[in-house]
Chains A and B, each alone.
Chain A
Amino acid sequence: MLSTIAAAALPILIAMLLLGGVAKLATADGDAEIGGLGRLGPAVLAPQRFRKAAMIGCALGELGLIAVLLLLPDQAVARWMPVAFFSVATYVLWDLRRRRPDVGCGCFGEVSAAPIGMRSIGRAAVLAAMAVIVAIESPGYAALSSWSWMTTAWLAGGIALVLLLSTEIEETVSRLRHRAPCEQRAIPAKRALSRLQSSSAWRSHVPMLVSDEPADMWRELCWRFFVFPARDGADVVFAVYLSGRRPAVKSAIVNADGRPITPLQESMHVSA
């Protein structure tokens, strides 16, 4: 059973690594200089001059893992390398979501520009789980010789799961429909406001707002910002991502000096 799943997981891992590596190499060139419009992946945490090298390094690492999966199934250290890669990727995406909520995961270059959500993190975790099964069974080339209908069914299920967790599909469809990326599409402010008002970030902040009318709003790339006056002279600022069916909504409370205020429940650590 486990060997069947491993045989089905192997082509999925190879396809994801190949697509990711090639797409990153194609995108790396554009984001090298100061002021690049693309803000993609963990490379944004690196200093500006190392970003291109970081992205190319990651892409080459992914392409190298394909060779490891296919050619070195018998080497114990080598076959656990994809597990380490996808586990680290899951953690990095989780951390990046907290530190830079505006950046995309960059998993497939600039198509992965949507802010990191649970789906992107879930996909990395699923791939890590697949890599664990592959590492245990280490099918290598031999998987092709023992192909069965059951393997095909597992493969189809795996592909469906990965596609379900891929936000890139929505962005690709809307680009084909509108012939323009989100940054170039005119999107009415009212639509963004209604998306904001149906979000959980809005419901948690609405008691502290002085007015329901935004004091200021503006749009930058694929984000629309709304500022509402709050009690004690503070402002509550919301950022609504303008693409996707359930877009990301980020919020912050900023005092008059421009310093973010951490809400009490977030500033208290959970104690045993």
Chain B
Amino acid sequence: MPYRTVDRRRTLAAAVLGRDTEAPRLTADDGMTLDAVSGEILDVSPHLIIVEDDDGEERRMVIAPWATAWHGASVAPADLPVGARVVIRALRSGTVVDRIWANITRMTGVILGITGKRDLTIELDCGPHRGRRTVVVPYRTSGRIRVRHPQLEPGYLFDAIGLMDAGTALAHIPATSQPPYRAKAVPPPPPAFRGVQSKISGAAAWGDFTEPGVTYPMLESADADCEDTGQSCAGLPYLAVGSMLFVRNVCDGRANALPIIGCGCIAGRFCDRCLECGTSPRGRLVELSATSYVELGGDLIKGCFNARVGLG
């Protein structure tokens, strides 16, 4: 079903139901977001990094003395290769670098096939909207991945964080403990005689997409153009592309209003918990873009944060 713009949906819904067009403004009490910059390194020195961001603008940023970087492992920021794609957590209105993740990628999907003996090559189905991708689990990290993914077999879910190396995705860290069920056997949500909760708690993950916003699993299949949607064990209500969600990082106390930009068809199949600060209730509520995740105080090499979502 085509739609002209997602913003138009909010305007029309507000007009017919008498709502405010603008989402309520967040205050400092709600938790201020950090700044995140995504782009490509043009030059880097121990104290300064020059990045071309996703809008094509050149940004010169001071590297804080305590800043660290990740490029497969912890490295000094000055050791990052020129040309690497980076996501930067920035302070002071986006001028001071606090943390850098370089060439980081997230591999979330359903295992379709596995080949190889030392280095494993895994074919993943990343959902109807993202297609298939091939990832490599190098021998040196396969032990770590297998501990958290005991069922490396077709039909089971896979979720790892890794590095893009010359076009190849190399899995380094497991992003979660693999759910014990097959991807098609997602547990049903608990019966909700009481009604939809005002706020829903669970886990928020990040995904490999750049557009700011979130993907959300509970879309009607007629609206999402796919049959795999509408699966979640968290008791989420049905929403649409264009709805605004308030996402709160419970661990860090930061909140933001983010638009739903797509179907989180695969995210909804993860009925896992996040253990970032305490144990979250079951279910992956949303998948944020890398920059939205960093803005809310998330660490990209940890796969999730405990989250609470409500409607904007």
Instruction: List residues of A whose CB falls within 8 A of some B CB.
Output: 30-31, 33-38, 48, 99-102, 110-111, 113, 175-176, 179-181, 183-184, 186, 188-189, 214-221, 223, 225, 227, 235, 237-239, 250-252, 254, 258, 260
Instruction: List residues of B whose CB falls within 8 A of some A CB.
Output: 1-4, 8-9, 11-13, 15-19, 21, 24, 26, 30, 189, 191-200, 218-220, 222-223, 230, 235-243, 245-246, 255, 257, 309-312
Q: Which residues of B contact A35 (CB under 8 A)?
A: 24, 199, 245-246, 257, 309-312
Q: Which residues of A contact B8 (CB under 8 A)?
A: 216, 258
Among B11, B219, B242, B243, the most chain A Cβ lie within 10 Å of the Cβ of: B11
Partner of A220, one of B199, B222, B235, B238: B238
In the bound complex, what is the Cα–Cα distance between A38 and B194 (angstroms)? 12
Is B16 within 8 A of A184, CB to CB? no
Q: Which residues of B contact A31 (CB under 8 A)?
A: 198
In the bound complex, what is the Cα–Cα distance between A217 and B3 (angstroms)? 8
A196 to chain B, nearest CB (A): 12
Is A239 within 8 A of B16, CB to CB? yes
In the bound complex, what is the Cα–Cα distance between A76 and B16 (angstroms)? 45
Is B16 within 8 A of A180, CB to CB? no
Is B16 within 8 A of A251, CB to CB? yes
Q: Which residues of B contact A183 (CB under 8 A)?
A: 195-196, 237-238
Is B17 within 8 A of A254, CB to CB? no
Is B4 within 8 A of A216, CB to CB? yes
Is A48 within 8 A of B11, CB to CB? no
Q: Which residues of A contact B18 (CB under 8 A)?
A: 99-102
Whether A179 contacts B198 in the complex (CB less than 8 A), given A189-B222, A225-B16, A258-B8, comes out as no
Q: Which residues of A contact B238 (CB under 8 A)?
A: 183-184, 186, 219-221
In the bound complex, what is the Cα–Cα distance between A65 and B219 (angstroms)? 44
Is A216 within 8 A of B195, CB to CB? no
In the bound complex, what is the Cα–Cα distance between A2 and B199 (angstroms)? 48
Whether A221 contacts B239 in the complex (CB less than 8 A), given A216-B3, A237-B16, comes out as yes
Q: Which residues of B contact A30 (CB under 8 A)?
A: 197-199
Q: Which residues of A contact B191 (CB under 8 A)?
A: 179-180
Partner of A37, one of B19, B193, B196, B218: B196
Is A254 within 8 A of B11, CB to CB? yes
Whether A36 contacts B198 in the complex (CB less than 8 A), given A217-B1, A227-B12, A239-B17, comes out as yes
Is B9 within 8 A of A218, CB to CB? yes
Partner of A34, one of B9, B26, B200: B26
Is A36 within 8 A of B220, CB to CB? no
Is A216 within 8 A of B9, CB to CB? yes
In the bound complex, what is the Cα–Cα distance between A34 and B218 (angstroms)? 21
Q: Which residues of A contact B26 (CB under 8 A)?
A: 34
In the bound complex, what is the Cα–Cα distance between A34 and B29 (angstroms)? 11
Is A186 within 8 A of B16, CB to CB? no
In the bound complex, what is the Cα–Cα distance between A250 and B240 (angstroms)? 19
In the bound complex, what is the Cα–Cα distance between A181 and B237 (angstroms)? 9
Is B240 within 8 A of A218, CB to CB? yes
Q: Which residues of A contact B242 (CB under 8 A)?
A: 218
Is A216 within 8 A of B2, CB to CB? yes
Closest to B6 in A: A218
In the bound complex, what is the Cα–Cα distance between A223 and B59 (angstroms)? 44
Q: Which residues of B contact A250 (CB under 8 A)?
A: 16-17
